[in-house]
Chains A and B, each alone.
Chain A
Amino acid sequence: MEYFLQQLINGVTLGAIYGLIAIGYTMVYGIIGMINFAHGEIFMIGAFVALISFLILGPSGGAMIPIALLVVLLIAMSLTAVYGWALERIAYRPLRGSPRLAALISAIGMSIVLQNYVQLSQGARVKTLQPVIEGGFQLMKAGNFTVVLSYMQIIIVVVTVSLMAAFWGVITKTALGRAQRACEQDRTMAALLGIDVDRTISITFVLGASLAAVAGMMVTLYYGVIDFYVGFLAGIKAFTAAVLGGIGSIPGAMLGGMLIGLIEAFWSGYFSIEYKDVAAFSILVLVLVFRPSGLLGRPEVEKV
């Protein structure tokens, strides 16, 4: 029971992070119908920006951790958003209207470019960050096993869930969200109604990138270790989460992220930590076989 609870806590934390990255995949797919394979790298850049900002703020931030956290959050979100914007401008917009495969190849290319760019500029070695937030609540004790809910985990879940809620509010309630959904459902019609489609797509990338940056910052704080390659696996996991939830569906991305996080945590806890990725991806295979449109996705219908 205690062990189960601990895995649940770990899984939810991880799932929140995956969900945040998955939103970026699903939104971009929804609006331009392509998988942005460089999104994992955007997440990695977010992690690096957060790490660097922490190191710069480090000496003075000690007494004012909440403020430092907020500052780093804002820096990471805004700088990474610029990367997301530039990515679309440079690698995808010129290819709009060309076959999907071209954009996909461009995405994979950008993924490699960004990885190498960080590797060259920051070095290939693993980067570490001293724990910024330590401690937690001891929830339960059984023998020598203690269930811990760390402050960091609380922060991760609270930040992600409130960001997702805010984001959901933007999508469903605001003019910006309506424009976004309109472009997703019928781009030409949106343009006929006076929506600047290019701008809406740019905003989609900016939003997705800033959410990924938050995920990157949380990972940096949670694990304290990052390198230029973290985006690859995290990206693929989040992509899996998006597909699992139903690509194109934002609630689906959140749900899928949570499920992948839980599957991974429970698998590592009860079976073997080495095969946790196998578990996550096997679920993906099963979902694709039995429910190709994902848990909350719409079945693909030919537009008439």
Chain B
Amino acid sequence: MPDGMLELAGIDAFYGRIQALRNVSLNISAGEIVSLIGANGAGKTTLLMTVCGDPRATTGKILFDGRDITNTPMHEIARAGIAHSPEGRRIFPRMTVQENLLMGSVANPESNQAEAFERIFDLFPRLKERRGQRGGTLSGGEQQMLAIGRALMSNPKLLLLDEPSLGLAPMIVAQIFEAIKRLNEQEGMTVFLVEQNAYHALRLAHRGLVMVNGAITLTGTGKVLLGNAEVQEAYLEGAVKKVADA
């Protein structure tokens, strides 16, 4: 694949003794949004974390931008251009919004900080108002915006988003998905999205992957997966009903 951004080949990974990933292979091309859906505990978060180096893949290979990063130190993976907005947001609670964002630019010392701030405040104007406030005092939605904003500060090549909709009000979820879409369409940002909110995630994505028990069981375009009977049964019951009712 000529413009392959991220390539995983035969990845196994463990949490303690529990095997969390089983022979996972996937490809993400530049400019794509790829959504990974699956039930709680299927290994979605582990997959994103394994790309970042914690836990390490015990077998298989991870290539990013043509470079083998399977055993690269975590901070160097980040510096290579992978930014992660992780599960649970992991905002630094005792740092201000501004300081949290500044931490995001560590991975890319050459990036223009002023420009990055402007871009992020344009995407999430709310963060600008909260600039001097401590991260721990923000609402869940604001924290999620901050986590994504922080990841964007380094102007990454690949953005990993772990459950950005978790625990947020529908209106905020819509805002955040809108922002992701804008990033992809206007800046060509490559996004690897993990979601339990399968309906939204598949609608947004160019391609979707379904994970069950640490293995990828289905792949296809977002549309195809949305129409797939298995996916509908397992992950979309509520959402499809809603669509049918409407």
Residues of A at under 8 Å CB distance from B?
Answer: 175, 178-179, 181-182, 185-186, 188-197, 304
Closest to B52 in A: A192
* Complex interface: chain B residues within 8 A of A178 (CB): 95, 99, 102-103
* Complex interface: chain A residues within 8 A of B104 (CB): 193
* Complex interface: chain A residues within 8 A of B92 (CB): 181-182, 185-186, 189
Whether, in the assembled complex, B94 has its beta carbon less than 8 Å from a beta carbon of chain A, the answer is yes
Contact A179 B106 (CB under 8 A): yes
Residue from B79, B94, B99 in contact with A194 in the complex, judged by beta carbons closer than 8 Å: B79
Q: Is the interface of A mostly helix, strand, loop or mixed?
A: helix
Whether, in the assembled complex, B207 has its beta carbon less than 8 Å from a beta carbon of chain A, the answer is no
**In the complex, which range does the number of interface residues on chain B fall in?**
20 to 34
Closest to B104 in A: A193
- Distance between Cα atoms of A175 and B113 in the complex (Å): 13
Question: Would you give the shortest CB distance from B91 to chain A, in whole angstroms?
Answer: 8
* A-B interface pairs (CB < 8 A), number: 62
Contact B106 A188 (CB under 8 A): no
If A189-B90, A194-B107 touch, whether A182 touches B95 (CB-CB below 8 Å) is yes
Residues of B at under 8 Å CB distance from A?
Answer: 52-54, 73-76, 78-79, 83-84, 86, 88, 90, 92-95, 99, 102-104, 106-108, 150, 154
- Distance between Cα atoms of A179 and B104 in the complex (Å): 11
Question: Would you give the shortest CB distance from A166 to chain B, in whole angstroms?
Answer: 20
- Distance between Cα atoms of A165 and B111 in the complex (Å): 31
Residue from A181, A186, A193 in contact with B106 in the complex, judged by beta carbons closer than 8 Å: A193
* Complex interface: chain A residues within 8 A of B93 (CB): 185
Contact A196 B75 (CB under 8 A): yes
The list of the 8 closest CB pairs from A to B, nearest first, reads A194-B107, A194-B78, A191-B74, A189-B90, A194-B106, A185-B92, A194-B79, A196-B75
Question: Would you give the shortest CB distance from A186 to chain B, in whole angstroms?
Answer: 6
Closest to B80 in A: A194
Residue from A185, A192, A304 in contact with B86 in the complex, judged by beta carbons closer than 8 Å: A192
- Distance between Cα atoms of A200 and B222 in the complex (Å): 42
Residue from B52, B103, B154 in contact with A190 in the complex, judged by beta carbons closer than 8 Å: B103
- Distance between Cα atoms of A190 and B106 in the complex (Å): 9
Closest to B107 in A: A194
Residue from A181, A191, A192, A304 in contact with B94 in the complex, judged by beta carbons closer than 8 Å: A181
- Distance between Cα atoms of A282 and B188 in the complex (Å): 64
* Complex interface: chain B residues within 8 A of A197 (CB): 74-75
Residue from A182, A191, A304 in contact with B78 in the complex, judged by beta carbons closer than 8 Å: A191
If A181-B95, A194-B154 touch, whether A188 touches B102 (CB-CB below 8 Å) is no
Give me 14 A-to-B residue pairs in the complex whose CB atoms sit less than 8 angstroms apart, sorted by A's number. Answer: A178-B102, A181-B94, A186-B92, A188-B90, A189-B86, A190-B103, A191-B53, A191-B54, A191-B78, A193-B107, A194-B75, A194-B78, A194-B106, A195-B103
Closest to B81 in A: A194
Question: Would you give the shortest CB distance from B101 to chain A, in whole angstroms?
Answer: 11
- Distance between Cα atoms of A191 and B103 in the complex (Å): 11
Not counting A178-B102, A194-B108, A197-B74, a sample of 16 additional A-B residue pairs whose C-beta atoms are within 8 angstroms of each other reads: A175-B102, A179-B103, A181-B92, A181-B94, A186-B90, A188-B54, A189-B90, A191-B74, A193-B104, A193-B107, A194-B78, A194-B79, A194-B107, A195-B75, A195-B106, A196-B73
